[in-house]
Amino acid sequence: MSIANVPNQYLTIAEVATMLRVSKMTVYRLARAHALASVRFGNSYRIPENAVEEYIKKAGTCEKRSEAP
């Protein structure tokens, strides 16, 4: 199988934290809570790139609070 046939790129916790501009601990918590899809290899987590994109889309669909005038 060539790399072109691999369905997802897997990102490290640090890479995801940088993309989302949050701490690594926040990404670990999201992964453990299953809010962000992840795969565990031994003691380390890997996050599929499309899971990050889905998480961002889901987070962006939350209703905005109306501001009081």
Give me the pLDDT at residue 62, please.
Answer: 62
Residue 6 binned pLDDT confidence (cut-offs 50, 70, 90): low
- The answer to whether 19 touches 51, Cβ cutoff 8 Å, is no
- Out of 31-35, 47-51, 65-69, which region has the weakest mean confidence (pLDDT)? 65-69
Give me the pLDDT at residue 61, please.
Answer: 74
- The answer to whether 27 touches 47, Cβ cutoff 8 Å, is yes
Question: Is 1's pLDDT higher than 50?
Answer: no
- Reading the block at residue 67, the tokens are 């501001």
Q: ∠44-49-52 over CA atoms, to 5°?
A: 90
Q: Does the global pTM surpass 0.85?
A: no
Q: Residues 16, 22, 24, 30: is their CA dihedral positive or negative?
A: negative
Contacts of residue 45, Cβ cutoff 8 Å, sequence gap at least 6: 12, 13, 28, 31, 38, 39
